[in-house]
Amino acid sequence: MTSTPFYSRRSLLQELGGGAGALGMLSALQADAGPRVGLHFPGRAKRVIHLFMNGGPFQGDFFDPKPALRKYAGQRPESADLRTERRTGGLLPSPFRYRQHGESGLPVSELLPLTARCIDDICVLRSTWTDNPNHGPALLLMNNGTILPTRPSMGSWLSYGLGSENENLPGYVVLCPGKPVRFSILWTSAFLPGSHQGTYINHSDLRPERLVPFLKNPNADRSRQGRQVGLIRQLNEEHLRQTGPDTRLEGRLQAMETAFRMQFTATDAFDLAQESRSTRDAYGEGHFANGCLLARRLSERGVRFIQVYYGNGQPWDTHNDHHNASRNLAKAIDQPIAALLSDLKQRGLLDETLILWGGEFGRTPTSENGSGRDHNHYGFTTWMAGGGVRGGMSYGETDDFGFQALHNRVHIHDLHATILHTLGIDHEQLTYRYAGRDFRLTDVAGRVIQEILQS
Amino acid sequence: MQKQTVRGFLLLLIGVIQMRAGADEQVRFDRDVLPILSARCFACHGPDAEQRQADLRLDQEQDIHREHTEGIPVVAGNPDSSVLLRRVGATDPDLLMPPPESGPSLTAAEQHTLRLWIEQGAEWGLHWSFRPQVRPDVASGGAAAIDELVGRQLAARSLQLSGPADPYRKVRRLYLDLIGLPPTPEQADAFAADPSPERWEQLVETLLQQPQFGEHWARMWMDLARYADTKGYEKDRGRTMWPWRDWLIGQLNADRPLDELTQELLAGDLLPNATMDQRLATAFHRNTMSNDEGGTDNEEFRTLAVKDRVDLTLQVWMGLTAGCAKCHSHKYDPLSQQEYYGLYAIFNQTADADRPDDAPLLDVQGADEQEQEEQLQKSVTALRRQLRQLQRQPDPAESERWQVPIPVHSEAGGDAVCTVDASGVISVSGPSPAENDYTIRLPLAAGVLSGIRIQALVPDEAGNPGVGRNPEDPNFVLSELELSIAGSDKSFQPLRIARATADFSQQGWPVTAAFDGDLKSGWAISPRQSEMHTAVFVLSDPVQIAGNSTLQLVMRQRYGRSLTMRQFRISVTAAAATEIEGDVISPAVQNVQSELADAELKLKQFRTGLPRVPVMEELPAEKRRETRLHHRGNFLDPGDSVQAGFPQAFAAIAAADMGSPGRLDLANWLMSDLNPLTSRVWVNRIWSRVMGQGIVATEEDFGALGALPSNPELLELLAVEYRENGWSLRGLLKSICLSNVYQQDSAVTAALLQADPENVLYARASRYRLSAEAVRDQLLAVSGLLSSRQGGPPVMPPQPPGLWRSTYNSENWVNAEGADRYRRSLYTYLKRTTPFPALTTFDSGSGEYCLIRRIRTNTPLQALVLLNDQTALEAAGALALRMMQQPTQQRLEWGMRQALIRPIAAAEAEPLQRLARELRAEYGADPESATALLSSARVEPAEATDIPELAAMIVVAGTILNQDEFLTRN
């Protein structure tokens, strides 16, 4: 597929009268004609929820038991002598006990007793790795496939490739009770049309007027405002016609209409008060629980890509007092994640919703500062669930200490390629021509991990 | 072997393709090679000693030519002997560099670049931005030189500047860029009538002189300074910073040169005879957050603030990201952890320490206030003096009741000296033992003695020494007063005291304790040591006095610490107890005392009413802190002691011996002609503000990982001229705005978009959505609501209800009424944890951290603000009301023109006409909703207004104010 940056799909469709594609780009353009599943082939998943543990959890604490750590505690064997961001010391065993769970018998540590019950729906990728041990570049790589801030994020690519399932809401919503490091650049659409940019919502205060502050207009009569918005579009299109192509202006054109429609649907979508007591109790309390529940409500309504950042700054960045911090963080995510998985399953949504869990990197099995762990990009755990991914399996292996991914390594490009695949997108074909060359989310790399996909 | 050759050929081929920009082009170290080395190699072979592997540095010229265990990394002219090339191209994963697990290998093109570089002699050089600035080879200067340098680059790509923009578009652009507000249609017409270069220059000059210029550019500075009206962190209480913001606006409007501004911002308090304004300037670095939460370690947040100052200073002036060197040496730029703390040491000597009161604070007052305070102070001083004099004089009104006998004998213990003057005042001087008993004998005439009075006086000396002899604490303690009387036989008989009164007694030290037989108790007068005090002692039984009797007083003062009286007077009376008990204070004294109390209160109130702003203040020499490196950035884990100093990489700047530099030296170092970065960073920032993007795209990073300048010569020209022209912001802006590059059209053609999608070559003018503040200010301006009031405390324009919930204090958001509802956005109260949502939705910051540039986003939430925000509605209402004053036929065009400034063709208003007609009919049929809309929009129509028409106009005006053209800088 090719595309040009100076015609939006919509305006092109209009110019072509919605007719047959002479330019061979209609496969993507059809996305606007209505919701679709799969761009290049039928996909199992329709949307993605990304549970982002910003700061980077330690893989050995959750799904990747490493008994050898205990044996070599305090030592620094040659294979654990890897450079990370800061200097680390000897091996620091994870004190958390593992047990086998579910029919699959996959080991999950005591930190996640409730999530463990869903293990048969989870595919643990133990061998994920990334390029850079610093937060900024690693966050960017996870989000846009490069360490550069000027590339479209994964959510923008999905929104661009698949269009919207619900034109009353943004296609890409970012929930964070605060601001992750690098903030809005993490969900930029860069050179993709502006309408595919992530819409950031700070959900630290759940009152709907606080979540989306300008949603209510006491004077808004739907018909009047509808005609007003229609007229604004007309004026804007005229302006655009005079000044020449501009993807950002076109993005705003669309944003205005989404905004108009959001007024009548977003209150509903974002209002957790509409959930029953038992559902609220099932998810539990706290920002992350609320984020997961909002994510379910948004995914039900067809938002393409929902990112739930765990918290402000980089809460998982445990350079000190790692064990206690990890215990508390795990407590905050365990119940909500278990609830989200069961809830989606019960509603029949899990199969068409891909859940991705993980940080921008992992942490070292060696100690930093005595009680802390440093960033580790050599090997760490992410997991997927739903969306046509096989549950109850683990893929890939790290070394004896959980430092480096050794077998069946999964680079972020592979992760991206696989995610796109579950949605029916060939990562090598989802391209965008800009500044004289074709760009894609996976650059020139990426392998779909077929082994983890349901047949 | 054959395989190798094929591979080599392929490499060469790829290289040739890569180099197509110019086949004979010499590889340049800083442009081509350094970016590869810094991105791929420096993490382990760079400035950071802790992470360095194999004892190899690839960031230093001498090290790359040195023999290492495996050979010489770079042999100039001989690629095949250079180990560097062998390792980055190795097929054996154990030899390959960078190691496969730590990152992708070098691409063939990158390897080829390194090969060419070595072939061509491996010339070494500094990173481009660290090299001294050199004026590019260009005949002209200013605007003409800008055109020439942009033109050169365009010509090399067979492009040229777009033609000049339409005069209306140009004039609107200039207003928005220079003062952040649009012109009126009339102002635009005036220019369009004669759009000559001379008139353009005049217009640029005029706008640069507008008071709104300082307001607009202050906002950029406020982003950099992480300005906010609260302290941040959890409690986020209010803090008075706005006088600094007003100071800033004043400086920008006076076009203060950047070098002077820098001195004052960083070290105004250290300038000789620092003025109030210069001290106020230092509030710049007191915009750091502070934590009032209970149980937090003040030192933790103090050190965080100091680090924030180091980081911000390096980033704002030199475009260097220093933050990572807090914990470890910088991996890419030449800043070691040691050097980071050298800079930290410079900022580590200020008195602020994350205290809840934000001390040290500066009472900020203008000339008027200063005069007012002086007046108040004068009247307090005069009243105090009057009171003292009054108290020293015996009150004539009492002369019938009280007599002052002149003592015949006065004696004090130790070697203290007693003297008596003609009016009977006894003064004690000389040595001042810790305890002292005074013995005084007074001659009594025949009559009755019913009581005595002691008046402790304050000497009439400058500086008011107080009533006691201890200069540290001029209190006194009269432990026991013993009275006795002797007749002509000279034998003293004790007199008993029944009661006593005093004008004032210290708590726990009542005057009655002076005759309770206990030397441990007594009468004292703290904290009123600086006033006269009086005690009246009433005898148990009035005594008949025969002639020539002598009254003896022994005043035992046994507290210690020399708390003894300095000067006093003793009077005697025959009057009845009931008459004298009140004689501890005279009505005249009472009057003056109450006047004084009033005056003191006024002064105090005046002073507390003054804004008190946190400022920088250097610690006195004996309290200076020792700076130690923080291991891993942890203030609780101090390392070696570090001396204040500048990074080695910039040693050339600090040519003069600076010893142990302070903040003023830092300011001078930043602004030195030899500092290669400051001028480049600043011109890039200013260029970006008016041109839409920087010549260096990464405004925040001029280091090894930052972007290269898109037009190096242009950056160089601007940097050199900015410095040579005395760091004048106006001068710089004038050069830019007079250039043809600035004045060209912004229309985009498919060809232009293809050739330069991001417009880095400037073959057209940039087009972008206005900043958050400009969006709101423009709404207010074109609707006629904007208040022109400048400065003063921050204001609270309407925001959606319920956003502000302050758990800890009573600070509330109360929507402003009157002019404060419509002030320019930079005056909006900025609470760090709950910033104003209509502004943050358009990418303004929270003031928590330095914001070098704003990333422009584009979301439906922005559209919601423009559709539903109360301010947008009121602006539509105000514009509609003004539209109604126009002739019916011209209303819509007139309204469009107010917003878009340019002339409006009749056809353009046509679609609006249709909506207006429909709505008018609907509102006519539904008068209630028309009235409700008017009332929400705060529109008060004159009598006989066509209400349905007005309501329809409000919706139409809202439409006009929502157009992209209105929100875009074109």
> HEC states along B790-826?
CCCCCECCCCCCCCCCCCCCCCCCCCCCHHHHHCCHH
Beta bridge partners of A395: A125
Q: What is the pLDDT of residues B351-383, one digit of tens each?
A: 999 999 999 999 888 778 888 888 999 999 899
- Nearest CA to B460 among B397, B530, B533? B530
Find the CB nearest A243 among B767, B856, B865.
B767
Q: Residue B220 has what pLDDT?
A: 97
CB A379 within 8 A of CB A404: yes
Name the minimum distance, in Å, from the CA of B748 to any CA of chain A. Answer: 5
In degrees and rounded to multiples of 5, residue B334 shows phi and psi of: -75, 75
Closest residue to A232, CB basis, from B101, B919, B959: B959
Residue B66 vs residues A400, B82, B83, B119: alpha-carbon distances, Å: 38, 11, 11, 18
Spatial separation of the C-alpha atoms in residues B27 and B118, rounded to whole Å: 9
Rg (CA), chain B: 40
Please provide the DSSP assignment of B709-720 as one string. PSSHHHHHHHHH
Kindly give the residue spans of alpha helices, DSSP state H, lying in B393-486.
none
Tell me what the mean pLDDT of segment A12-18 comes to. 31
ipTM over cut 0.90: no
**Is the peptide bond between B360 and the residue preceding it cis, with omega within 30 degrees of 0?**
yes
User: Coil, strand or helix: which one is B525?
Assistant: coil
Look at residue B162 and tell me whether its pLDDT is greater than 80.
yes
Tell me the pLDDT band of B657, cut-offs 50, 70 and 90: low
Amino acid identity of A271?
Answer: D
Determine the Cα–Cα distance for residues A59 and A94; give it in Å rounded to an integer.
Answer: 10
With 90 as the cut, is the pLDDT of residue B239 above it? yes
pLDDT digits (tens, 9 = 90+) for B658-716: 678 999 999 999 999 999 999 999 999 999 999 999 999 989 899 887 888 999 999 99
Cis peptide bond N-terminal to B527, omega within 30: yes
Of A209-218, B144-153, B722-731, B901-910, the range with the lowest mean pLDDT is A209-218
Give the closest of A129, A217, A243 to B746, CB-based.
Answer: A243
Q: How far lies B399's CA from each of A24, B80, B94, B260, B502, in Å?
A: 117, 116, 111, 68, 19
Cβ pair A219:B800 closer than 8 A? no
The DSSP call for residue A388 is T
Q: Taking CB atoms and an 8 Å cutoff, what residues of chain B touch A8?
A: none
Mean pLDDT of chain B: 89
Nearest to B394 by CA among B583, B544, B542, B226: B583
Interface A:B, Cβ pairs < 8 A: 185
Is residue B502 scored above 90 in pLDDT?
yes
The rounded distance, in Å, linking the Cα atoms of B686 and B681 is: 9
In the chain, the amino acid numbered A83 is R
Nearest CB among A85, A234, A249 relative to B911 is that of A234
Cβ of B911 under 8 Å from any chain A Cβ?
A: yes
What residues does each domain of chain A span? 9-15+38-132+149-365+390-416+423-452
Question: What tokens were used for A382?
Answer: 């992410």
Contact B51 A197 (CB under 8 A): no
Burial class for B369, CB neighbours closer than 10 Å (0-12, 13-18, 19+):
middle
CA pair distance B506, B522, nearest whole angstrom: 10
> Nearest Cα to B878, choosing from B739, B774, B779?
B779
Alpha helix ranges (H) inside B581-677: 587-609, 663-670
Residue type, B157: R
Shortest CA gap B758–chain A (Å): 8
How many Cα atoms are found within 13 Å in the side-chain-facing hemisphere of A338?
Answer: 18
| Cα gap A254→B862, rounded to integer Å | 12
Show residues of chain A in contact with B912, CB under 8 Å. 231
More confident residue, A144 or A264: A144
Cβ-Cβ contacts under 8 Å, A219 against chain B: 873, 929, 932-933, 936
Read off the pLDDT of each residue in B832-847 and give the average, rounded to a whole number.
Answer: 90
Q: Are strands B402-403 and B567-573 parallel, antiparallel or unpaired?
A: antiparallel
Residue type at position B313 = T
Closest CA in chain B for residue A149: B698
- B270 DSSP 8-state letter: G
Mean pLDDT of B221-234: 94
Q: Of A188, A197, A231, which to mutate for an interface test with B (greatest number of B Cβ within 10 Å)?
A: A231
Whether B104 and A131 lie within 8 Å, measured CB to CB? yes
A358 sits in the region (left: phi over 0; alpha: psi -120 to 50; else beta) called left
Least confident stretch, A34-38, A261-265, A357-361, B408-412: A34-38
Give contacts of A197 with chain B, Cβ < 8 Å. Answer: 857-859
Q: Which residue of B has its CA nearest to A217?
A: B868
**Whether residue B11 has pLDDT greater than 50:** no
B749 touches chain A (CB under 8 A): yes
For the stretch B245-260, what's the b/e string if a residue is b when 16 or more beta carbons lie within 10 angstroms of its beta carbon? Answer: bbbbbbbbbebbbbbb
- Chain B, window 285-304: residues with a beta carbon less than 8 angstroms from a chain A beta carbon: none
Among A385-394, B419-428, B645-654, B738-747, where is mean pLDDT lowest? B645-654
Distance of CA B218 to the CA centre of its chain: 12
Across the interface, do A214 and B837 touch by the CB < 8 Å criterion? yes
Give the minimum alpha-carbon distance from A238 to chain B in angstroms, rounded to a whole number: 9
pLDDT at B229 over 90: yes
Closest chain A residue to the Cα of B961, Cα to Cα: A232
Report pLDDT for B13.
Answer: 38
- Nearest residue on chain A to B836, judged by CA atoms? A213
Instruction: Give B-chain residues touching A200 at CB under 8 angstroms.
Output: 857, 859
Q: Report chain A's C-alpha Rg in angstroms.
A: 22
Domains in chain B (CATH in brackets) are 2-125 (no CATH), 396-580 (2.60.120), 870-969 (no CATH)
Q: Given an 8 Å threshold on Cβ–Cβ distance, is A227 in contact with B915?
A: yes
pLDDT at B491: 83
| pLDDT at residue B658, rounded to an integer | 66
Lowest mean pLDDT among B111-125, B256-270, B511-525, B724-738: B111-125
Model pLDDT, residue B284:
98
pLDDT at B5 over 80: no
Q: Which residues of A touch B324 (CB under 8 A)?
A: 134
CA A198, A249, B852, B38 torsion: positive or negative? positive
β pairing state of A305-309 and A47-52: parallel
Listed range (A153-157, B595-599, B804-808, B895-899) with the worst mean pLDDT: B804-808
Q: Could you give the count of Cα atoms lying within 13 Å of A283 in the half-sphere of its Cβ? A: 23
Q: What is the pLDDT of residue B385?
A: 85
Cα–Cα distance, B951 to B931 (Å, whole number): 8
Q: Which residue has the higher pLDDT, B112 or B368?
A: B112
Vertex B913 angle, CA B910 and B915, to 5°: 120
The pLDDT confidence band at residue B834, using thresholds 50, 70 and 90, is confident
Confidence class for position A7, pLDDT limits 50, 70, 90 = very low
Percent of chain A that is helix, strand, coil (3-state, to 5) = 40, 15, 45
The pLDDT of residue B436 is above 70: yes
Chain B residue whose CA is closest to A251: B858
> Is residue B955 scored above 90 in pLDDT?
yes
Position B235 pLDDT exceeds 60: yes
pLDDT classification of A9: cutoffs 50, 70, 90: very low
Average pLDDT estimate for A301-312: 95
Window 332-351 of B: residues touching A by CB (8 A cutoff) are: none
**Nearest by Cα to B555 from B469, B444, B440, B455:** B440
* % of chain B surpassing 70 pLDDT: 96
B854 vs chain A: nearest CA distance in angstroms? 10
**CB-CB neighbors (< 8 A) of A220 in chain B:** 867-868
CA distance A71 to A90: 12
Q: What is the pTM of this model?
A: 0.76
Q: Looking at the complex, does the CB of residue B804 fall below 8 Å from at least one CB of chain A?
A: no
Q: State the nearest Cα–Cα gap between B259 and chain A, in angstroms.
A: 31
Coil/strand/helix, residue B3: helix
Give yes or no for a contact between B406 and B570, defined as CB atoms under 8 angstroms apart: no
Q: Name the residue facing A255 among B748, B859, B959 (closest C-beta).
A: B859
Which of B227, B281, B272, B228 minimizes the C-alpha distance to B254? B281
**Average pLDDT in the B505-524 region?**
94
Q: Is A321 on the interface with B (CB under 8 A)?
A: no
Q: Cite the beta strand spans of B457-532 per DSSP E.
A: 477-478, 480-486, 492-495, 497-502, 523-524
Contacting B residues, span 221-260, partner chain A, CB-CB under 8 Å: none
| B913 close to A (CB below 8 A) | no
Task: Please state, in angstroms and rounded to a whole number, the distance separating the CA atoms of residues B580 and B453.
Answer: 9
Phi, psi at residue B477, to the nearest 5°? -125, 115
Q: Cβ contact (<8 Å) for A245 and B748?
A: yes
Chain A interface includes B54 (CB < 8 A): no
Selecting from B101, B860, B970 the residue whose C-beta is nearest the C-beta of A262 gives B860
Mean pLDDT of chain A: 87
DSSP state letter for B31: I
8 Å CB contact of B748 and A246 = yes
Q: Which two tokens stand for residue B92?
A: 């054996």
Q: What is the DSSP string of A33-98?
A: GS--S-SSS--S-SEEEEEE-TT---GGGTT---THHHHTBT---GGG----SS---SB------E
Query: What pLDDT is attached to residue B901?
Result: 97
What pLDDT score was predicted for residue B806?
A: 52
Residue of A nearest to B327 (CA): A86
Distance from the Cα of residue B588 to its chain's centroid: 50
pLDDT, average across residues B900-906:
94
CA A26 from chain center: how many Å?
27
How high is the pLDDT of residue B430?
92
User: How many CB atoms lie under 10 A from the CB of residue A450?
Assistant: 9
Minimal Cα–Cα distance from B897 to chain A, Å? 14
**Backbone phi, psi, residue B719, to 5°:** -65, -45
What does the pLDDT look like over B325-354, one tens digit per residue?
Answer: 877 777 778 888 899 999 999 999 999 999
- Give the residue-averaged pLDDT of A377-392: 97
Report d(CA B301, CA A63) in Å as an integer. 37
Q: Cα separation of A77 and A131, whole Å?
A: 23
Please count the helices (runs of H) and the strands (runs of E) in chain A. Answer: 13, 17
Q: Is the pLDDT at B95 greater than 90, yes or no? A: no
